[in-house]
Structure formats: structure tokens, C-alpha cells
Amino acid sequence: MLLHIVARGRIGRGPEADLVDRYLGRIAGPTRVTELPDTGGRMPPRAPATKLVMLDEKGDQTGSLAFANLLGRWRDDGTRECRFLIGAADGFDDAQRAEADLLIAFGRATWPHLLARAMLAEQLFRAMSILANHPYHREG
């Protein structure tokens, strides 16, 4: 299953981009990052077997294990792509949220988009590690 981050705004080169590259590079399966301008731009076409996850302040605060189990279930059910959307500064409107299969939030705090992208990449690596029974994730 392709793990595809689609983010508004350019990350450029810097520590945040290095973190994204580091975590996505550790994932055994296919990954992709698509950057769109803050406004406009073309969203990549969505295939029928694509799940859409939006990072949104109104989303669920899902734990790492539950997140991994959900991704594993989607993968096992034949999902070809899991697309993760990070919106522009104003986030998503209700119509956009209604299109999502899942809304997730990284806590109640507001995070800069560069950090949200790095945090998402780490959580994707963590989820794939959990599914592969790799010791990276530890339950306390």
C-alpha cells in the first residue's frame, strides 16, 4: 500500500525536511510526498481503492497502536493508496472533511505544518514498524 503525503506549502530544505526523509526512507513499502502551493494546484487523481486521511484539528486523537492496526486493516482489505492530507494555514472546510475516510489530530495544540509533516512521517514509520513486529515501538 502506497503511503502518500499530500501537503500544502513547500517544506524546502532544512531539519524538518531531513526528518521527513529520514522516517519515510525507513519504511519498507512505497511512500510519496506531493507538495501543493498554499492555494490552487492540482490534487493528484484519487484511485477508487484510496483511503483519504486528513490531519485536522477536529480529528480523532488516535494512539499509535490503533493507528497501526487501522492501516494494517486497510492494507489487508486491498487499499492500494492511503493518502494523508495536510491543509493550508486555514485547514479544511466541512465539505472537504466530509470526503475523508478519517480525520486525525496530533493533540489539541496547533502545530506548524513543517512539524506536522515530520510528525506524520514518524507515525507512519512507527505504524509500519508495529505491523512488522519491529521493536521500534514500545508500549509502556
Chain segment 52-78, per-residue pLDDT in tens: 999 998 899 989 999 999 999 999 999
Flag whether 136 is in a domain.
no
Flag whether 137 is in a domain.
no
Put the strands of the sheet holding 50-60 in their side by side order: 31-36, 2-8, 81-86, 50-60, 102-104
DSSP letter, residue 13: S
Which amino acid, residue 106?
A: F
Question: How far is the C-alpha of 81 from the C-alpha of 58, rounded, in Å?
Answer: 23
Flag whether 35 is in a domain.
yes
pLDDT tens string 82-119: 999 998 878 888 999 999 999 999 988 888 888 899 99
- CATH number of the domain bearing residue 98: 3.40.1280.10
Chain centroid to Cα 110, Å, comes to 16
Q: How many domains does the chain have?
A: 1
55 labelled binding-site residue: yes
pTM for the model stands at 0.91
78 labelled binding-site residue: no
Residue-number span of the structural domain to which 60 is assigned: 2-131
